[in-house]
Amino acid sequence: MKTDIGISNVTCVQTWMDDAQCVHYDPELWFSPIHTTRITLALAVCGECVVRAECLTYARTNDLRYGIFGGLTAQQRHQLTKHTYNPAKRETE
């Protein structure tokens, strides 16, 4: 089995995550189990993040049910999903 991929096969991909503000903080802030000042701090950091929209889309696309993404708690994302207009769902009702 060949394991050496060689440097010519390595591709450097820049993603929205490279610009995430949260990489400069303790990740635990985004996964506090109860609403505390830690969550408040995390939400403040998200509020200044330039990739907030991409982060929120990522969380919703991947159905992430824990933690803060895109400046919203898991509960807030759930509420957003619940109240977002879904024409496919409406046609079947």
Token pair listed for 14: 């820049």
Tell me: does residue 69 bind ligand SF4 (CB under 6 A): yes
User: Nearer to ligand SF4 by C-beta: 24 or 89?
Assistant: 24
Cβ distance 71 to 46 under 8 Å? yes
What residues between 5 and 64 interact with ligand SF4 by CB under 6 A?
A: 20-22, 30, 45-46, 49, 51-52, 55
CA atoms of 23 and 35, how far apart (whole Å): 21
Give Cβ neighbours of residue 73 (< 8 Å, ≥ 6 apart): 35, 39, 43
Tell me: does residue 70 bind ligand SF4 (CB under 6 A): yes
Tell me: does residue 71 bind ligand SF4 (CB under 6 A): yes
Footprint on this chain of ligand SF4 (rule: CB under 6 A): 20-22, 30, 45-46, 49, 51-52, 55, 68-71
